[in-house]
Structure 1
Amino acid sequence: MSFVERHGIRTDEQADAAERIAARVRELDLRQVRISWGDQHGILRGKTVEVGHFLSTLREGKDFQTATLIFDTTNNPAVPPFAADGFGDPRMTGLPDGVLVPDPTTFTVLPWVERTGWVLADLYYRNGDRVPFDTRGVLQRQLEALESEGFGYVAGVELEFYVMRLTDPRHGFADSGWPPAAPEVTALSHGYQYLTENRGDEADAILSVLRDNLVALGLPLATVEDEWGPGQIEFTFDPLPGLRSADNVLLARSAIKQICRRHGYHATFMARPALPHIVSSGWHLHQSLSTPDVGNVFPGEGDALLSTTAMHYLGGLLEHAPVSSLLSTPTVNGYKRYIAQSFAPDRIAWAEENRGAMVRVSGARGDATTHLENRVGEPAANPYLYLASQLICGRDGLARKLDPGPSADEAYDADRPLLPASLETALHHFEQSALMRRELGDPFVDYLSAIKRNEVNRFNAAVTDWEQREYFEVY
């Protein structure tokens, strides 16, 4: 009996998909398959295996190092590797090997790599238990909880990012620090001609390549848009059930970076790169709840813009915005995006069709597609944790019938609480949150807090260009 069968890991849908994949791999004469796993930062890690080995991996899984779980964004161990005490989970002590189990429903073929398949995997311990720090599992558990309460979750994605011409990748040994030197780049276009066809056409050489490859992957790409900054792009994706949307973000971001690099460009999902004339990039998350008999349950009736369900869900998003910030905005850099009058939110407020508010109600009275757009996230966020944060907060709003208060029609002038101004502040809110500890468990909260605290401490210890200019000459 295989590992998958022994531990009852697969659903019937996954088992059927596994049989189809085995036949497809042979039919397409693939030579290798990338088995990928989304780590705590939403970055793909994994192993590339030969086709014959992949077919056995579908049944037995693939050994994988849990040591990757203790890395911060640049692979600095957040705790001494062999002093890891499991973060409250004794199964993690000593960083044993885990098992990557491919999810056959995610299989696709990479169009930019010769005869190469790709599949997303989940991380298990050798005893068949799901590793609790696997963030895809975190979202799956929240979706299961929401389903038990009678709802499905639908998410649509708008991702902003920059594409730049790569002039020097800085691959010399002298540049290979920890982290390495940033690549040298030049602008793709001048920018500041929002949504103009001419600016978009200047970037078409790479945008068409990206478009064709994402469509070939089967991703639900809806639009390719020229944004404000020089070389700033927005891709939007059609709404799908929550887990599929999160999986798609993981694959899309990695695909965009790989394809750009192969063509002499550099793509970054960093919210505010340190380059002249830059406008911050965001991740706008469109969302609604559904039921089998009604579909979208967020539209109101009569003169009401939103249903009671939507208002309570919205109340949860607002009340818990400080404690969920670590999940929607997980980097030091992301908090530098919260600037008034910038199309990014700076305070905890909602409004109807207002892009300055944290949560924008998109739609109109009587519109069956009316939903919520949370504009708080940064494009580097782990998609599983970002979506899970919405469900944690929204479900609590439903359970407690929270009131979001009145709409903030002047979003940047409203008397509403400000969003956390730094990762350090967000980390404090997250660690102290009874809601997050109840929904995620103490081990996960303590684990993620340790990872992010290491990042904050390294940032606080670094001497910045600002400090050098401010103090070096005058004192």
Structure 2
Amino acid sequence: MQAQDVLDRVNADQIETIRVVFTDPHGILRGKVITASALAGALQSGIRVPSTLLLKDLSHRTVFPVWQGDGAPMQGAADVVLRPDPASFKMLPYSPHSALIHGDVETIEGAPVAFASRAILTRAEVALADKKLSAVMGLEVEFQIYRVLDPALAPAQATMPGVPPQVENTTQGYQYLTETRYAEVEEMLDRIRRGAEQMGMDVRSVEVEMGPSQFEFTFAPGAPSQVAEMAVNFRTLAKEICARHGLLASFMPKPALPNAAAMGGIFTRACWTRRGAICSRQTGRI
């Protein structure tokens, strides 16, 4: 998809807002929401966001001394530019007036920001291609879905970091791949599966995992950049769909809750030559 294709799609589908995002070092999508009338300019010139978005921890504190030259990846708190990639354009099925597009992070001068997640992965793919190799990855995502009892929105709870919401389980757990457990949460998981498929994700299975409130989605294999974008899109989609129904989707390694199970995100990977032969330690190609 090219820039004009994106503009035509937005006009034809009467899209009102476009979420221009990038993947931060923690795998969180950050960016700005622009209106349809601003999209042409954004595709041509990019949009500016504060560079400190690249330097924050998950509590949103800036963890590098941005006003000091030594030890800081970037100096000061100047803007960087998000350059939207038309090929990443996706409609949001749970917000039909909105769309999502990923951007490459550049300096004001137009140079790629070397430690931006997308740039790192692009360099790795180029390095493989220089060796006449390519990689294929398959994604398995484990996560938990809780029912929110108290969203913790009282002013006194608006600390940094904020007070976590109070939740309860959606399943009791310890019934791995049990049909009746799946049936209990089918409606909830169907919403997520359908949303993922409508965004072009090739979902292969939806599974009840071992722990309380724990589930797994698996996807068809693809190129590293394709799978990486799908991973962050899926995580965002699951969180946003759940939030609309009074639920909380958590992808942290292990929630700080009694009896919560640990989780993993699994990337099954293979490396191929241009002739279609798989690389192995025996062939000496890896």
Give the TM-score range, shorter chain: over 0.9
Measured after TM superposition, the shift of residue 276 of structure 1 is 2.3
- In structure 1, the residue matched to 2:78 is 96
**Mapped partners of 1:175, 1:160: distance in 2:** 29
Is 2:221 the partner of 1:247? no
Task: Tell me by how many angstroms 1:132 deviates.
Answer: 1.2
Deviation by residue 1:196-216 (Cα, 9 ceiling, x = unmatched): 110011111210110111111
Counterpart position of 2:245: 263
Aligned letter for 2:278? Answer: V
Counterpart position of 1:237: 219
**Alpha carbons of 1:84 and 1:224: their partners in 2 closer, same or farther (altered >3 Å)?**
farther
Which of 52, 69, 76 is matched with 1:67 structurally? Answer: 52
Question: How high is the TM-score relative to the length of structure 2?
Answer: 0.96
The separation in 1 between residues aligned to 2:49 and 2:70, in whole angstroms, is 19
Pairing 1:207–2:181 present: no
SS in structure 2 opposite 1:228?
coil
Alpha-carbon shift at residue 277 of structure 1 (Å):
2.3
Among 26, 48, 60, which residue is 1:41 paired with? 26
CA distance in structure 2 between the aligned counterparts of 1:221 and 1:55, rounded to whole angstroms: 32
Could you give the per-residue CA deviations for residues 247-266 of structure 1, whole angstroms, max 9, x where no partner exists?
A: 11011101111111111111
When residues 84 and 170 of structure 1 are mapped into structure 2, their CA distance, relative to the original with a 3 A threshold, is farther
Aligned to 1:28: 13
Q: Pick from 181, 187, 212: which aligns with 2:169?
A: 187
Equivalent positions of 1:427-442 (< 5 A) are: none
Query: Which residue matches 1:55?
Result: 40
Aligned partner of 2:63 in structure 1 is 78
Residue 282 of structure 2 is matched in structure 1 by 308
Correspondence for 1:140: 122
The answer on whether the counterparts of 1:223 and 1:235 sit within 8 Å (CA) in structure 2 is yes
Note the residue ranges of structure 1 that are not aligned, 5 or more in a row.
1-15, 299-305, 314-397, 399-475
Task: Give the structure, 1 or 2, with the largest relative contact order (CA under 8 Å, sep 6 or more).
Answer: 2
1:62-461 superposed matches below 5 A: 62-83=47-68, 85=70, 87=72, 92-294=74-276, 296-298=277-279, 308-309=282-283, 398=286
Note the C-alpha offset of 1:292: 2.9
Aligned residues: 286
Residues of 1 paired with 2:6 and 2:87: CA distance? 9
Contact 2:65 2:71 in 1 (8 A): no
Within 1, Cα distance between the matches of 2:268 and 2:106? 31
Is the 2:17–2:36 Cα contact (8 Å) retained in structure 1? yes
| 1:111–1:216 Cα contact (<8 Å) kept | yes
Per residue, is there more strand in 1 or in 2?
Answer: 2
Deviation at 1:107, TM superposition (A): 0.2
Query: Which deviates more from structure 2 when the two are superposed, residues 275-284 or residues 194-203?
Result: 275-284
- Aligned residue for 1:308, secondary structure, equals coil
Give the unaligned 5+ runs of structure 2. Answer: none
Aligned AA for 2:48? D
Question: What SS does structure 1 have at the residue aligned with 2:104?
Answer: strand
The amino acid across from 1:54 in the alignment is L
TM-score (norm 1): 0.58
Distance, in Å, in 2 between the alignment partners of 1:85 and 1:117 is 40
Is contact 1:84-1:95 (8 Å) kept? Answer: no
User: Secondary structure of 1:155's match?
Assistant: strand
The DSSP-based 3-state class of the residue aligned with 1:37 is strand
Greater Rg by CA:
1
